[in-house]
Amino acid sequence: MVLSPYFNLYSVDNAEVALNLLKEQPIDLVTLDLKLPGEQGMELLEKIRNEGRTTEVVIITGYGTLESAVSAIQHGIAAYITKPFNIPDLLGVIQKTLDRRQQVNSLKSSMEAFSSLWVSQGDPTSMTEKLGTLLGAKNPELASHGKRVHYYVTLLLEHLDIETPTKEAIQLGALLHDIGQLGLQDRLALGTSQPTQEEKELLTCHPVIGERMLQSMTFPEETRAIIRSHHERYDGTGFPDNLQEDAIPLAARIVAIANTFDNLVSGGRESPPVTVPEAREQIRRQAGQALDPSLAELFANIVG
């Protein structure tokens, strides 16, 4: 009743029929209740993703919990709405989701072209700059952060004995490290207001979402490792895999330092910016905890 005046709809009442319909029709978006006859909504969502379908999914439920919200976000949903809901808000979320789907599909098509060029004869520096421009058109603040992290990573790489192709892959990963935030609700991605506890939980899903966005592309292994693991901590308390010390890919440890430094000097939703000397000392204090100790000391010396 709410959506039919604005969208072309199919309505089904169980998971089996829904899966068959998704195989037969080019569905852009599914609104999904967690409570269904027989197989439940979360099980249907898992099957949709296991079959590799990129259809947008909006959960609408009267039985929402933080645990189910985080699990749903990890499976790539676009939004999680609890009942009772406001009709204009629902329409707004669905339209924004469809608009973002179009934008992300456009971005992914361009990234697929870039990834193919990367492994052929493309010039990495030129492609990275063009990809930064493309990201800027989708989310200017996200792109600006990526470019700053890219710059700090480049400074650190100049002092490391790493082969040129690997350096270029790490620089690309620095630019793209937060690409998964494009898959989250707009209000969660680099917003200016204080994040709620729920928003903090949901934001921890963006490395997995970013990795999923690149799964069909031919970007280098180091780039993929950065996107998934740049929030791992040296002491093993990071996310999404709780990796520890050298189990964290070197590329991700490098980008983690540059990412931390930029968050300190640029500020964000939770803290104001600090001076470069203070940021340098905080990098040193986090050595052996959040950050690789040898890399952190080297970086602190470079920016000093």
Region label for 58, one of left (φ > 0), alpha (ψ between -120 and 50) or beta (otherwise): beta
Dihedral sign for Cα atoms in the order 172, 178, 180, 186: negative
CATH of domain 15-85: 3.40.50.2300
Residue 260 binned pLDDT confidence (cut-offs 50, 70, 90): very high
Query: For residue 182, is pLDDT > 50?
Result: yes
14-23, 58-67, 94-103, 124-133, range with the lowest pLDDT: 124-133
CA atoms within 13 A on the CB side of 162: 19
Q: Which residue has the higher pLDDT, 111 or 281?
A: 281
Domain 106-303 in CATH: superfamily? Hypothetical protein af1432 (1.10.3210.10)
pTM beyond 0.85 = no
Q: Tell me the C-alpha distance between 76 and 66, whole Å.
A: 15
Q: Tell me the C-alpha distance between 186 and 80, whole Å.
A: 13
> What tokens appear for 179 in the block?
């690409």
Q: Tell me the C-alpha distance between 299 and 293, whole Å.
A: 10
**Residue 189's pLDDT is what?**
41
Residues 6+ apart with CB under 8 A from 175: 128, 131, 132, 135, 146, 147, 149, 150
Q: Judge if 15-85 and 106-303 fold alike in CATH terms.
A: no
Residue 52 binned pLDDT confidence (cut-offs 50, 70, 90): confident
Q: For the chain, what are the domain ranges?
A: 15-85, 106-303
**Residue 190's pLDDT is what?**
40
Query: For residue 208, is pLDDT > 60?
Result: yes
Most confident option among 24-38, 76-90, 132-146: 24-38
